[in-house]
Chains A and B, each alone.
Chain A
Amino acid sequence: MSADSNNGASKSAGNAAWEPVIGLEVHCELKTETKLFCGCRNAFGDEPNTNICPVCLGLPGSLPVLNIRAVEYAMRIGLALHCEIRPSIFHRKNYFYPDMPKDYQVSQYDAPINVNGWLELPDDSRVRVERAHMEEDTGKTSHIGGGGRIHDADHSLVDYNRAGVPLVEIVSAPDMRSSTQARLYASELRGILVATGASDGRMEEGSMRVDANVSVRRAGTFELGTRCEIKNLNSLRSLGRAIEYEIERQIGLVEAGDKVVQQTRHWNEDEGVTSALRSKEEAFDYRYFPEPDLVPVVPDGAWQAEVAASIGPMPAERREKLAGLLGPEVVSRARADQIATVVEHGLDGLVTAAVGAGIDTGLALARSSNEASTDPEAARRIDVGGFVALLGMEQDGKLSATQSKSVLIEMLEHGGDPVEIARRRGFEALDSGSLAGVVAEVVAGHPEEWERYLGGEDKLVGFFTGHVMRASNNRADGKAVAAELRRLRG
């Protein structure tokens, strides 16, 4: 089951003597209506300290009551990752921090709900998932003044709205061998989280947070090197950059005869470096013990089956289905990327509806993965009939590609009927007669370029198309211009 060590092309190709070993720990917030142990609203971006109660503030005497919907969401994630669902209990993880209302975090420790799963990446490698367990989020601290870190701040403010928000932490095995593969894993996992409906997987809002465990070992050996854990990775790009940096740093150390020290390291996005937060010796002793205020969670078979039936197809299956729409055509890299984008943003429905209505699959994929994906949330709400109608107009040559794109953008922003929008904007594709006239004018105005085109310089199609576009106020269709140029060349 272990990933093949050749999986994913490492960018550290210059150090073929060393093999990076990477595992990811991903925290995702569950998008339940209420928090994990109380009835407070679970919402991002509300006025600070408005979604709080005695329980999530950890007031003396308060007790947690487990949110069954959160358990169900955790099970959805587990099932989507092919995990076994097991009877589980919660532990207390004890440490002092101002944003921890109880100064312990309720988390699953040695009896997590989901264990032994796996995730297949688009490159066909498989990464094992050791566990996906439930825990509560902490509050959010803002350090005011000084360097913005707790030790030199003038004062700190704590928002407990986030305290008690349900999280699932998904821990992979150290099966990844490159930053590329790690990014692929994170992105595929994000797609799965979104597809289960359990989480919205937004790294920038912190609803999905990734920590990377990185070590290196001499190529061809099996023993794992000393690892470092990297925190503060707020985007897939940071994830990739930080892992690259860390791999090079560790190789540099061992090649210089030094040892890698087991550490937690902080990624500084601006400087592009990781720096030590704390070493193993300074690591907290969390004094885990079973949370006596909660009872075990034992999902029976019927409940598991009910949850399994409630989740739709996962991204891999959906990508396959979209690729199938292309017919016997070999799926190019560009097409595969479009399909991945469509699935990532949950826009499969737009593509299948358009293709079902006779729209060319390539066109449906292009508009869904480019324009529609600029605002996936709006695209998921867009009127499907209107979308199909727009693509029909474009396919029939009634709108140029450029016009069609701008109508689609407007539909995403404000909604509306594409025919109406096109009419209001005065969009109307040139009919073939007018088009031929404009092309002829442009050719006549650029005799030198025309000679070169006739001489075989095909890339000048772009030059002429650009001029035709400008001359026609973008009403010309690029493909039609190219066809006209070919016709003139004879």
Chain B
Amino acid sequence: MTGPGPTDPGPGARPSPALEIARDVRAGSVSAADVVDRYLGAIDEIDGELHAFVTVLHDGARREAESVDLKVAAGGDPGPLAGVPVALKDNMCTRGVPTTCSSKILDGWCPPYDATVVERLRAAGAIIIGKTNLDEFAMGSSTENSAFGPTRNPHDPGRVPGGSSGGSAAAVAAGLAPLALGSDTGGSIRQPAALCGVVGMKPTYGTVSRYGLVAFASSLDQIGPLTTTVTESAVLFDVIGGQDPMDSTCLERPVPRTVSALGDGVEGLRVGLVNELVDGVDRAVEARVRAAADALAGAGANVEDYSIPEFRHGLPAYYIVAPAEASSNLSRYDGVRYGLRVEAETAEAMNAATRAAGFGAEVKRRIMLGTYALSAGYYDAYYGQAQKVRTLIIDALGAAYQRFDVLVGATTPTTAFAIGAKVDDPWAMYLSDVCTVPSNLAGHPAISVPYGTDESGLPVGVQVMAPALGEPVMFQVAAVLEASAPVLGPPRVHAR
């Protein structure tokens, strides 16, 4: 990859650890090897407590760092993310490195190929430092549904980091990786970003290749960045985005480059404050969202309250569509070719025994839900109906974007909850996604920006939503929000 390095974030912007590393490594003032050692040291020191990582790539990361340093020494362009460690949610395929989806059923499986995003990160000079914990197959909102145990929230280790990309969010929040990738099917990047006090962004469906992302719900899944700052989010999105011949659902239109939009301000932009993403949420969260809206108005945006009643159908529709697709996507874990196999008398019995032993309770619940929703005689009432709701939501958002450039609201109804608080109440857990699923159902981009804390110091996220391919305006608004947000103190568990 050639071209200039990352854009200077400009005065007043928050420090962006990733961009500082890239700048220094590109200039040759810091070696990638030292950067990697520093982060590996931090992981070794505190990840025992957090459990953000499932696999740490000590050797692989050092090898990659050496090759970046060699390139710098030879005077070549090491790429815009030269020497920057990146943590990958462990549902993205890495050649020769276990990819577990935090599930027992993928026990021992090493993909023979790299996901497209991994290839793009490497081409940009980034270094894969480890694979992060998630709710099994990305099904969950707390990272408690992991076969390897929960990840803890760096701001309060007694609380969840959110999910399903909880490992990636916690790693960035705790300073164990300057950048991370997550996947967002119903809020799985934005919700943990909000709960951990980092920036989490779900791109427009089709702008980032899904090749090598282990599928949960194919029509909703999208890979996106988890970062400390909005600028880093835009830089990382620009690196991983773009058409891929290996993914037919990738858009052919060129992905808008977003970094250049960051400094444009919000003067004259039309912002809709979505009632449905404000009214029902915790009071502390509501207060922060209203403060954010005021800040945008103060910066020159025209902010108006707006109601999208269709949003209340979003969650039920999501919990039909996602499990339905998942029930099919997860069929392949049958013990025949890879991963776990529990031997039995017949092929059918082997399939059943393998799946019974290999999947956790939440995954089984969703396979059952999805199988039911697609069954003969129920398809029209469930899957068909949910797809109609999806169209309603797309139409409602289309109407909203006639009036507004972006929409804002809460990312999550609550701040981080205690570990164990919702594990026995799936419906309460599902409600964590209520603010985020509309963007997935519509395929639109959305970003969560940290915007202060509740009274106990837990981070609150504010969500900015934009129409399809509206990433530039979304980042533009996010940058203004970030600049006006109170600075979060370092979390309780953090790299020194």
Contacts and interface: CB of A to CB of B under 8 A. Distances in A.
B374 A104 contact: no
Given A61-B212, A61-B213, A289-B383, A54 B112 contact: yes
A356 B218 CA distance: 61
B332 A61 contact: no
A150 B109 CA distance: 26
Interface string B233-254: 0000000000001111100000
A35 to B, nearest CB: 14
B219 A61 contact: no
Contacts of B336: 98, 158
Contact of A101 (B214, B249, B337): B337
Interface in B322-348: 324-325, 327-328, 331-332, 334, 336-338, 346-348
Contacts of A104: 328, 331
A94 B248 contact: no
Given A96-B334, A287-B374, A295 B249 contact: yes
B306 interface: no
A59 B211 CA distance: 11
Interface stretch (A62-70, A191-199, A421-429, A450-458): A62-70
B351 interface: yes
B479 interface: no
B332 A65 contact: no
Interface in A151-193: 151, 156, 158
Contact of A285 (B214, B337, B348, B376): B376
A293 interface: yes
A54 B113 contact: yes
Given A61-B214, A63-B246, A287-B328, A98 B383 contact: no
A339 B272 CA distance: 76
A61 B338 contact: no
B371 A57 contact: no
Nearest to A103: B331
A294 interface: yes
Interface string B98-128: 0101000010010111010000000000000
A110 to B, nearest CB: 11
Nearest to B330: A103
A66 B379 CA distance: 26
Contacts of B7: none
Interface in B56-78: none
A442 B116 CA distance: 85
A397 interface: no
B375 A61 contact: no
A151 B332 CA distance: 21
A292 B185 CA distance: 14
Nearest to A59: B111
B265 to A, nearest CB: 37
Given A61-B214, A63-B211, A289-B324, A294 B248 contact: yes
Contacts of B334: 96, 98, 103
Contact of A292 (B115, B218, B347): B218
Contact of B92 (A61, A94, A295): A61
A63 B99 contact: no
Nearest to A66: B248
B474 interface: no
Contacts of A102: 331-332
A60 interface: yes
A265 interface: no
B111 A60 contact: yes
A92 interface: yes
Contacts of B246: 63, 65
A92 B247 contact: no
Contacts of B113: 54, 59, 61-62
Given A289-B379, A293-B248, A295-B248, A61 B331 contact: no
Given A285-B376, A287-B375, A289-B383, A61 B111 contact: yes
Contacts of A156: 347
Q: How large is the interface on A (under 10, 10 to 19, 20 to 34, 35 or more residues)?
A: 20 to 34
A75 B494 CA distance: 61
A64 B375 contact: no
B210 interface: yes
B248 A96 contact: no
Contact of A63 (B248, B348, B379): B248
Instruction: Give the one of A64, A98, A289 with max B CB within 10 A.
Output: A289
B248 A59 contact: no
Contact of A60 (B106, B324, B375, B383): B106
Contact of A58 (B109, B248, B327, B332): B332
Interface in A281-306: 285, 287-289, 292-295
Contacts of B331: 94, 96, 102-104
A150 B347 CA distance: 8
A285 B379 CA distance: 11
Question: Which of A96, A104, A287 has the most chain B CB within a 10 Å cutoff?
Answer: A287
B407 to A, nearest CB: 25
Interface string A36-79: 00000000000000000010011111111110000000000000
A103 B214 CA distance: 15
A139 to B, nearest CB: 10
Contacts of B172: none
Contact of A96 (B92, B106, B351): B351
Interface in A434-486: none
Contacts of A62: 113, 211-212
A28 to B, nearest CB: 24
B215 interface: yes
A287 B371 contact: yes
Contact of A61 (B93, B245, B347): B93
B101 A60 contact: yes
Given A63-B247, A292-B325, A94 B347 contact: no
Contacts of A103: 331-332, 334
B218 A293 contact: yes
A92 B329 CA distance: 10
Interface string B207-225: 0001111110111000000
Nearest to A160: B337
Nearest to B370: A287
A54 B381 CA distance: 35
A329 to B, nearest CB: 57
Contacts of A94: 327-328, 331, 374
B374 A60 contact: no
Nearest to B210: A63
B251 to A, nearest CB: 10
Contacts of B211: 61-63
A60 B332 contact: yes
Given A54-B111, A292-B325, A60 B93 contact: yes
Contacts of A60: 93, 99, 101, 106, 109, 111, 214-215, 332
A94 B375 CA distance: 10
11 contacts: A60-B99, A60-B332, A61-B213, A62-B211, A62-B212, A64-B248, A65-B247, A66-B248, A104-B328, A287-B376, A292-B325
Q: Which 10 A-B pairs have the closest CB atoms?
A: A103-B331, A287-B374, A292-B218, A292-B219, A60-B214, A61-B212, A61-B93, A61-B214, A102-B332, A285-B376
Given A59-B112, A60-B93, A103-B331, 17 more contacts: A60-B99, A60-B215, A61-B113, A61-B211, A62-B113, A63-B249, A94-B327, A96-B334, A96-B351, A102-B332, A104-B328, A104-B331, A150-B346, A158-B336, A287-B328, A289-B325, A295-B249
Interface of A: 54, 57-66, 92, 94, 96, 98, 101-104, 150-151, 156, 158, 285, 287-289, 292-295
Interface of B: 91-93, 99, 101, 106, 109, 111-113, 115, 210-215, 217-219, 245-249, 324-325, 327-328, 331-332, 334, 336-338, 346-348, 351, 371, 374-376, 379, 383
